[in-house]
Structure 1
């Protein structure tokens, strides 16, 4: 009876945290209130600045800052406290934190033209607008709680510590393979789509979102990638296919 009550309480707690995203229309599980996004992002950015070679002045920094502000102004959340930094490391990467904190690594700047870079910046702005960071943290917390609960349940039923540990391990593997990674890929495709709209609204040719991923494929070290099932990102071909399918819509915003 106690177990049933716990499950019912957990169900209502989880469903209470589901909300429809006003931009995409997708239902999101987020337990972190929007008011905390800015604080979380600011705290994380401060830690980055303490440990990473961050560039905030000069031509390289201005290129990213001006582009970022230009695209952020036409996004669905222009009021966020947007900040755009460059990390001076030869890494092909970029990321966004909750609340509008965005970082682009130097290797991106060295290898991409302005239109391709706009696709990257638009993509990261979309992550922040769509609250993907808060969504990932919320899902991770819920999954960890569920996995630990599974271990306790199995241990109680079998009185076998080994079985309990095995249940936790298998639960973690299943969560990663069938929940976390596919959902991350969905968020990446969402950010591609919304980011392409933002770059087009800001006056950047969205067709360069396609050339971006073609370029990224050629820049990947070793010329290969792991199978999509084991990746937090969709394949380059999948991203290009989705962008091509929606290109008429993006071009309407661009020519608008």
Structure 2
């Protein structure tokens, strides 16, 4: 039994060490099992499926605005060579997302709620930074490792008990613990990282970074009275935390903005 535990631990440690890389933009170590060369293929495949099912707006002032602002930010990002694509989805959803390889979408409700160009730039800068920093690949990799670890726990527990209910309970607890203490907190850290780098990008593209603070102030107002999950059960940080962190670095963002405006 001890040998089995040591073997499982050794496998996990080896897999983790082999997939840790240092992000050139942030300097942070990232656990990513997917080669960077596969990002474009994964993003393209996912975007193809989106195009088959979602009502994408191909033309019109709003769609053109999103593409123009997105292209401007992508051009000064740390990965301008990605096959960037910015689309508008005609659905009443207050959301935006980025796929690996530079595929970005904004939903119509989000675009209409933040019509100001600088506010849209804050949203698009945030999504561009997710793609640049490979957050999607990182989150998928952590999920894969989480599944491997939970499966290993099942093997270990299953070898020590004949009670299937105990073994199942251990699997459930292991999965919940992994999500609560690994996946969710890391998702929040990636959101804050995207806020930071995205605001730098929008400033370098010539958009006033103070608009990023306005975005989260407005988002907070929209949510008031609607309830919601406590922060510790959410994959996103609280709006107040995002606002505080942005305001704390505003001098840095404004310095980049002034350089871009010269």
TM-score (norm. length: structure 2): 0.95
1:71 offset after TM fit, Å? Answer: 0.3
What is the DSSP-based 3-state SS (H/G/I as helix, E as strand, rest coil) of the residue aligned with 1:104? strand
| 1:242 and 2:245 aligned | yes
**Paired residue for 2:212, among 197, 206, 209?**
209
Partner of residue 41, structure 2? 39
Aligned partners of 1:217 and 1:223 also within 8 Å: no
What are the within-5 Å matches in structure 2 for residues 1-256 of structure 1? 1-112=3-114, 113-220=116-223, 222-256=225-259
Aligned partners of 1:199 and 1:205 also within 8 Å: yes
Describe the superposition over 1:201-247 as per-residue Cα deviations: whole angstroms up to 9, x where unpaired: 00000001000000111223744332100000000000000000010
Aligned partners of 2:20 and 2:30 also within 8 Å: yes
What is the DSSP-based 3-state SS (H/G/I as helix, E as strand, rest coil) of the residue aligned with 1:174? helix
1:176 offset after TM fit, Å? Answer: 1.1
Greater CA drift, 44-53 or 151-160:
151-160
CA distance in structure 2 between the partners assigned to 1:144 and 1:224 by the alignment: 31
Number of aligned residue pairs: give it: 256
> Which runs of 5 or more structure 1 residues have no equivalent in the other structure?
none
Aligned partners of 2:8 and 2:152 also within 8 Å: no
Describe the superposition over 1:56-94 as per-residue Cα deviations: whole angstroms up to 9, x where unpaired: 212111010000000000100000000000000111000
Describe the superposition over 1:88-107 as per-residue Cα deviations: whole angstroms up to 9, x where unpaired: 01110000000000000001
Describe the superposition over 1:20-52 as per-residue Cα deviations: whole angstroms up to 9, x where unpaired: 111111110000000000000000001011111
1:250 offset after TM fit, Å? Answer: 0.3
Aligned partners of 1:21 and 1:27 also within 8 Å: yes
CA distance in structure 2 between the partners assigned to 1:253 and 1:9 by the alignment: 45
CA distance in structure 2 between the partners assigned to 1:13 and 1:227 by the alignment: 33
> Which runs of 5 or more structure 2 residues have no equivalent in the other structure?
none
CA distance in structure 2 between the partners assigned to 1:61 and 1:219 by the alignment: 23
1:5 offset after TM fit, Å? Answer: 3.0
TM-score (norm. length: structure 1): 0.97
